[in-house]
Amino acid sequence: MRIACPFCGPRGSEEYTYLGDATVRRPEGDAPSEAWFAYVYLRDNPAGRHRELWYHGAGCRSWLVVERDMRSHDILSVAPARDMALARGRAA
């Protein structure tokens, strides 16, 4: 699989480290334990589009949000996680 890093260009997946679901949001510190449990452990496994966090460890050290079709491994978009996180913060 190849992922197009916005900073480094298309690179083989062995340059990256997979973390997982980019759709979960870290709860506030005083959130109920159920919210924390969901954040740490509960994950969807959609047959289709999914957003995931990948780390370009052998490249620019960026965390990336990769939108991927779980059925075909087609990569639909790649964006710097920090940009998305900042946009999320502005939206909130």
Partner 1 sequence: MSAPAMILPRQAVATSAAGPAPAQPFRLAAGGLVDRTATLDFTFDGRRYTGHPGDTLASALLANGVRLVGRSFKYHRPRGILSSGPEEPNALVELRSGARREPNTRATMAELFAGLEARSQNRWPSLRFDLMGVNQLVAPILAAGFYYKTFMWPAAFWETVYEPLIRRAAGLGRAAGEPDPDHYEKATLHCDVLVTGAGPAGLMAALAAARAGARVVLCEEDVRLGGRLLAERRTLDGLPAPDWLRGVEAELRAMPDCRILTRTTVFGAFDGACGAVERVSDHLATPPEFQPRQRLWRIVAGRQVLAAGSIERPLVFGGNDRPGIMLAGAVRSYLNRFGVAAGRRAVVFTNNDDAACTVADLAAAGVAVAALVDMRREVSPEIRRIAEAAGASLLTDAAVTRVRGRTALRGVEVTDGAGRRHALDCDLLAMSGGWSPSLHLASHHGGKAAWNEARATFLPPEQLPPGMAVAGAANGDLLLAECLAAGARAGAAAAQATGFRPAPPATPSVDGESTASAPFWWVRGGRGKAFVDFQNDVGVEDVALANREGFRSVEHLKRYTTLGMATDQGKTSNANGVALLAELSGRTIAGTGTTTFRPPYTPVAIGALAGHHRGKAFRPVRRTPTHDWAAEQGAVFVEAGPWLRAQYFPRPGESDWLETVTREARTVREAVGLCDVTTLGKIDIQGPDAATFLERVYINTWKALPVGRARYGVMLREDGMVMDDGTTARLAEDRFVMTTTTVNAVRVSQHLEFCHQWLWPELDVQMISVTEQWAQIAVAGPRSRAVLERVVDAPFDIGNDAFPHMACAALTVCGGIKARLFRLSFSGEMAYEIAVPARFGDALARRLMEAGAPFGITPYGTEALGVLRIEKGHVAGNELTGQTTAADLGLGRMMSRKKDFIGRAMAQRPGLTDPARPVLVGLRPVDRAARLRGGAHLLPRGAESTAAHDQGYLTSVAFSPALGHWIGLGLLVRGRERMGEIVRAHDPVRGGDLEVEVVPPVFVDPEGARLHV
> Which residue ranges make up the site for partner 1 (CB under 8 A)?
1-2, 10, 12-13, 17, 19, 26-29, 31, 33, 36-37, 39-41, 53, 55, 57, 61-63, 72-74, 80-82, 85-86, 89
- Do the beta carbons of residue 54 and residue 3 sit within 8 Å? yes
User: Contact 14/57 with Cβ under 8 angstroms?
Assistant: no
* The one among 24, 35, 60, 84 contacting Zn ion by CB under 5 A: 60
8 touches, from Zn ion, partner 1, none (C-beta below 5 to 8 Å by class): Zn ion
- In whole angstroms, how close is the CB of 42 to Zn ion at the nearest point? 30
What is the token pair recorded at 61?
A: 């050290």
Closest C-alpha to 56, from 7, 85, 15, 20: 15
Site string for Zn ion, 38-57 (x = CB under 5 A): ------------------x-
In the chain, % helix, strand, coil (3-state, to 5) comes to 25, 35, 40
